[in-house]
Amino acid sequence: MNKILEIKNLSKDYHTINGEISAIEDISLDIYKNEIIGIVGSSGCGKSTLLSILSGIEKQSSGEIISNNNNFSYMLQSDALMPWLNIIDNACLGLDIKHLKTPENIAYVEKLLSNFGLSAFLKAYPNNLSGGMRQRVALVRTLATKPDIILLDEPLSALDYVTRLTISDDIYKLIKKSNVTTILISHDIAECISMCDRIVVLTKRPGKIKNIYNINLKNKKTPSENRKDKLFVHYYDLVWGDLDKDIT
Binds other proteins (CB under 8 A): choice among 5, 72, 121, 154: 72
Residue list 193-222, contact with ligand ATP (CB under 6 A)? 205
Q: Using CB under 8 A, which of the segments 93-101, 103-111, 116-124, 189-197 binds other proteins? A: 93-101
Element (H, E) at 80: none
**Sequence-separated (6 or more) residues with CB below 8 Å from residue 65:** 5, 6, 7, 8, 10, 53, 54
Residues in the chain: 248
77 binds other proteins (CB under 8 A): yes
- Position 57 contacts other proteins (CB under 8 A): yes
Toward Mg ion, which CB reaches closer, 76 or 215? Answer: 76
Side chain identity at residue 120, one-letter code:
A
Q: In what order do the strands lie in the sheet with 3-16?
A: 19-32, 3-16, 62-67
> What residue type is 30 in one-letter code?
D
Spatial CB neighbours of 186, under 8 Å, sequence gap ≥ 6: 38, 39, 40, 154, 155, 156, 157, 192
Of 82, 107, 212, 231, which one interacts with other proteins (CB under 8 A)?
Answer: 82
Residue span 141-160 as binding mask against ligand ATP, x where in contact by CB under 6 A, dash where not: --------------------
Q: Which residues bind Mg ion (CB under 5 A)?
A: 48
Q: Which residues bind other proteins (CB under 8 A)?
A: 52, 55-57, 72-74, 76-78, 80, 82, 84, 93-94, 96-98, 145
